[in-house]
């Protein structure tokens, strides 16, 4: 049984911290039932994961993508936007637009002074509380 060291893997994954993350992720995959790409040789899962990386039987880039995907909480799906199609007015809509084309200049709005508003608010009575909650 050959000993696997970080130096065996560092030329495949240059960053030592990334190597640790990838090996730990691969070891978790192995413990959850992922098939091995090398013989176990009575090694534990982290050692098997490092040996797989050193012998390049697994792709570090694929493992990195899988690790990122496993850590994501929300995956945004890029869906094509629906094309804007101009609406063809139906006969009912055409009648509605004719009704809506009424001259609104003769409409008057009620105006209320601030004092009238305050007097009206003071006259409001709050609803009675019930102890049902």
The Cα–Cα gap between 133 and 125 comes to 21
41 — alpha (psi -120 to 50), left (phi > 0) or beta? left
Q: What is the pTM of this model?
A: 0.53
CATH number of 6-70: 3.90.940.10
pLDDT digits (tens, 9 = 90+) for 63-98: 999 999 888 887 677 777 777 666 666 665 555 555
Where along the chain do its domains lie?
Answer: 6-70
Looking at residue 58, its pLDDT comes to 93
pLDDT of residue 92: 59
Residue segments in the chain with a per-residue pLDDT below the cut of 50: 1
Per the CB < 8 A criterion, the answer to whether 67 and 88 are in contact is no
């Amino acid at each position: 049984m050959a000993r696997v060291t970080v130096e065996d893997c560092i030329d495949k994954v240059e960053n030592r911290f990334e190597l640790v993350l990838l090996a730990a992720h691969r070891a978790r995959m192995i413990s959850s039932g992922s098939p091995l790409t090398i013989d176990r040789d009575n090694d534990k899962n982290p050692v098997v994961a490092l040996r797989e990386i050193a012998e390049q039987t697994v792709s570090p880039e694929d493992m990195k993508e899988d690790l990122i995907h496993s850590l994501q909480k929300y995956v945004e799906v890029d869906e094509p936007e629906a094309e804007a199609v101009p609406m063809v007015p139906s006969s009912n809509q055409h009648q509605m637009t004719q009704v809506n084309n009424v001259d609104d200049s003769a409409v008057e709005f009620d105006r209320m002074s601030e004092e009238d508003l305050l007097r009206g608010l003071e006259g409001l009575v709050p609803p009675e509380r019930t102890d049902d909650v």
